[in-house]
A and B are shown apart, each in its own frame.
Chain A
Amino acid sequence: MGVKFGPVLYIVPGDICSSTCFLTFPGFLCPSISCVSVTVTMAEEVVLLDFWPSMFGMRARLALAEKGIQYEYKEEDLVGGKSQLLLKMNPVQKKIPVLIHNGIPVSESLIVVQYIDEAWSERYQLLPSDPYQRARARFWADFIDKKVWTSGHQVRSSKGAEQEAAKVEFMDSLKLLEGELGDKPYFGGQNFGFLDIAFIPFYGWFHTYETFGNFSIEASCPKLIAWAKRCMERESVLKTLPQQHKIYDFVLHVNKMFGLH
């Protein structure tokens, strides 16, 4: 009966349906008499293994929110001990986020966001359609991971000359991103998209970087902060990003726990 294509079951007229939809009941013939098939959405199972302060996890949360996808959020205790489920679903990297879609895992935040975009392609588009614009979005998302994350991490975990060097690299990276944004409202142009999703979670960590590094991001990159505040007006972003001070408190707590400065 019917043909399963991804998450949606297409019932052709005259089929006996075993699902419940608004037209019929299980065991009854599909009453649709037009040549157009009736679609019945099968229950989707979407689970996200995540860790609330993770900017990578936030990317997955944002993509799911933008697409309006219902999912079960499972908090992993990365400090106390990873769950058996996480180790089973991501045995290679053992990291969050892991998106589990109908039992099948997808790992690595940028790969998860692209998967969400492609698996729910009929909904709000995250990546641009044009191949060159897609390549640019991927390039800069990769840049964020290689440069911004790395130097940001150094800013908050090192001291002295090492920290100073990290601050320079961090700010240079942000300025480059500000240049890429230009005068557009979003990195995606008129529409909030993939690269905005890749970067906005870092805004949640700005207060932490600024406090540890003793500098102001807004002073050097005012357009970037304007962009961040524009993004925060979106419900998906407002609901996803933890408050900046909560992340700072978390970092202090972890540093204390592990006897770090």
Chain B
Amino acid sequence: MTAEVILLDFWPSMFGMRVRVALAEKGIEYEFREEDLRNKSPLLLEMNPVHKKIPVLIHNGKPVCESLVAVQYIDETWKDKAPLLPSDPYGKAQARFWADFIDKKPYELGKKFLWEKQGEEVEAAKKEFIDCLKLLEGELGNKPYFGGEIFGYLDIALITFYSWFYAYETFGNFSIEAECPKLIEWCKRCMEKETVSKSLPDQRKVHDVVTEYRKVLGVQ
């Protein structure tokens, strides 16, 4: 381990992407290490013995785990450039609340209709997933970014899901743009940022890997 900043990651992970975007926003040089999640490296198991999951940010040998914890760590450590969280306590609380919501609701619902067989539960999950996106669209309102004028923490938390939208739409059988046009506008605005476009994989590549995994699970 010689690089000062190392990121243990897995290219399709929307959680890993959050850390990539945060590092890019701060202009931090780092070493990206791809993990094979079917065969986790000794370094990953050593650095995240509790969850054994990516992303793990390793800064001067010390690990930081959980994507939203890592993004806040990056913001607080490299605080002289591109602030990610708002400065006022209420703004911070709002950003944290909605990022937490993303992980608890749409992410979990998305897992249901991607990885489980068709049925009532899956249909209900699809509907609730769209409702969650609409709530988020409401939170965005007419602002250019969730952070207001500036791309920030909550934008980072959500934009990485955009790389999974084509997979969600194909297997959910709905159009996110039809349901949440303002959200898609926001996605495209974010994708104009190099820090975002270079951190997110192509939607079709994610779709292909999801298709493969669905076959393995016997869902496809």
Give A residues with C-beta under 8 Å from B. Answer: 92-93, 101, 104, 106-108, 111-112, 114-115, 118-119, 131-132, 134-135, 138-139, 142-143, 176
Contact B66 A132 (CB under 8 A): no
Given A92-B101, A135-B64, A135-B72, A115–B50 Cβ distance below 8 Å? no
The yes or no answer to B45 lying at the interface (CB within 8 A) is: no
Which of chain A's residues have a CB closer than 8 A to the CB of B97? 106-108, 111
Contact B89 A115 (CB under 8 A): yes
Main SS of the interface on chain A? helix
Q: List the count of A-B residue pairs having beta carbons below 8 Å apart.
A: 56
Per-residue A-contact encoding for B20-44, CB less than 8 Å = 1, 0 else: 0000000000000000000000000
Contact B73 A135 (CB under 8 A): yes
Given A115-B89, A139-B69, A92–B135 Cβ distance below 8 Å? yes
Per-residue A-contact encoding for B61-79, CB less than 8 Å = 1, 0 else: 0101110011011001100
Interface residues of B in 88-114 (CB under 8 A from A): 89-90, 92-93, 96-97, 100-101
Complex CA gap A139/B47 in Å reads: 13
CB closest chain-A residue, reference B90? A104
CB closest chain-A residue, reference B78? A131
CB of A209 to closest CB in B, whole Å:
21
Contact B50 A176 (CB under 8 A): yes
Known A114-B93, A119-B90, A131-B76; 12 more pairs at CB < 8 Å: A92-B101, A106-B93, A111-B100, A114-B92, A131-B73, A132-B77, A134-B72, A134-B73, A138-B72, A139-B64, A139-B66, A176-B50
CB closest chain-B residue, reference A131? B76
Which of chain B's residues have a CB closer than 8 A to the CB of A131? 73, 76-77
CB closest chain-A residue, reference B69? A138
Given A106-B90, A119-B89, A139-B64, A114–B73 Cβ distance below 8 Å? no
Contact A142 B77 (CB under 8 A): no
Which of chain B's residues have a CB closer than 8 A to the CB of A93? 101
Contact A138 B66 (CB under 8 A): yes
Which of chain B's residues have a CB closer than 8 A to the CB of A118? 89, 92
25 contacting pairs across A/B (C-beta < 8 A): A92-B135, A101-B90, A104-B90, A106-B93, A108-B96, A111-B93, A111-B97, A112-B93, A114-B92, A114-B93, A115-B89, A118-B89, A119-B89, A131-B76, A132-B59, A132-B62, A132-B64, A132-B73, A135-B70, A138-B66, A138-B69, A138-B72, A142-B69, A143-B50, A143-B51
CB of B74 to closest CB in A, whole Å:
9
Complex CA gap A114/B62 in Å reads: 23
CB of A211 to closest CB in B, whole Å:
28
Which of chain A's residues have a CB closer than 8 A to the CB of B69? 135, 138-139, 142
CB closest chain-B residue, reference A111? B96
Complex CA gap A135/B93 in Å reads: 16
Complex CA gap A119/B50 in Å reads: 32
Complex CA gap A93/B103 in Å reads: 13
Complex CA gap A93/B64 in Å reads: 28
Complex CA gap A3/B100 in Å reads: 34
Which of chain A's residues have a CB closer than 8 A to the CB of B96? 108, 111, 114
Contact B66 A115 (CB under 8 A): no
